[in-house]
A and B are shown apart, each in its own frame.
Chain A
């Protein structure tokens, strides 16, 4: 791992943590508060490639495990891995990687980035999050899926925002992906 890989992994881990410190943004017609944290997951996937992006998110989870309150709402510590959101956190690691893979394959256009964010940042994350929530809360899968649907509008907005930002950042700073 080069020095640049190391720094980028630490940087996007820190960025995702910093986004979690921002207050949630209320969005009209969306019942749950939209936090900026998953933007970090999507931006990492879009900008620094699959391997570094997954490692950046994994590193964030390690920081949370050792006792830093870096998840949105000031959550942190070992207890989050026993709670109902555990699957979403694990899903972030894989989701960021999938976003990176799709962007690598399809190019870093706005459409490709948006599709990647939807598949990796929503599809993959929910694929881990919903079954885990159903297990922890002892609910049928359909009920857990229904509960997650409340987050879907916010996540779609974030997929669009992250794609737009990523494309603009690549234009301003073409070396980002290297």
Chain B
């Protein structure tokens, strides 16, 4: 039911492993924070868009998906910045935002969920002395991904039950049975984990 943002492909960007891709993203991001001036930033943004479409092999449709949440912000920046400062500052802020968001989107669109999870688990490795186990973190990620459709099914079930009784649009009344139901299911789930030795598993 939930599908990750990953877009399958064979490009050179896809074949790079997740760690170096993330490091490259932070380096490019840092460069963009330092670079100033609309011409320089516009060139950078064009380069990122070029990589996005021609080197990573993603479609224009994906570029639009990445840009769409920013449209309203671009409007706000244009109005506010031109009011406070000038058009040049507005252009700087908008171009920098676009370039940063496109760079991060390239990484998200070309990296598998499992590879990203592995990076997260590896990043948790230094936290082991604090009681954080990388394998448990990976388990939590997997468990949550599984639980989202389960919670959504419960929401749908409660909604249908209320509709059958003639309740149509009651947001507040719907939340209470949903929560008590999922909390009860969570008791069964934790019993199942305990029965399978979860609490004795040290996560290694």
User: Is the beta-carbon distance between B84 and A78 smaller than 8 angstroms?
Assistant: no
The contact size tier of chain A is 35 or more
B85-128 contact mask (Cβ, 8 Å, vs A): 1 or 0: 00001001100010011111101110101001100100000000
A3 to B181, CA, bound (A): 18
With both beta carbons as reference points, the residue of chain B lying nearest to A22 in the complex is identified as B155
Query: Which residues from chain A contact B103 at a C-beta distance below 8 Å?
Result: 82
Query: Which residues from chain B contact A66 at a C-beta distance below 8 Å?
Result: 4, 113, 116-117, 120, 141
Q: How far is the CB of B62 from chain A (nearest CB, A)?
A: 11
A8 to B179, CA, bound (A): 12
The contact size tier of chain B is 35 or more
* Stretch of A89-97, A115-123, A162-170 lying at the B interface: A162-170
- Give me 18 other A-B pairs in contact (C-beta within 8 A), A68-B145, A83-B101 excluded: A4-B187, A6-B190, A6-B193, A10-B140, A11-B183, A11-B186, A59-B144, A63-B141, A68-B2, A76-B108, A78-B25, A78-B107, A82-B101, A82-B103, A136-B97, A138-B92, A161-B171, A164-B172
- Residue ranges of B at the interface with A (Cβ–Cβ < 8 Å): 2-6, 25, 29, 66, 69-70, 73, 76-77, 80-81, 84, 89, 92-93, 97, 100-105, 107-109, 111, 113, 116-117, 120, 131, 136-137, 139-141, 143-145, 147-148, 150-152, 155, 171-172, 175-176, 179-180, 182-184, 186-187, 189-191, 193-194, 198-199
- Residue ranges of A at the interface with B (Cβ–Cβ < 8 Å): 1-4, 6-11, 13-15, 17-18, 21-22, 25, 39, 43, 47, 59-60, 62-63, 65-70, 73, 75-84, 136-140, 143, 147, 161, 164-165, 168-169, 172-173, 175-176
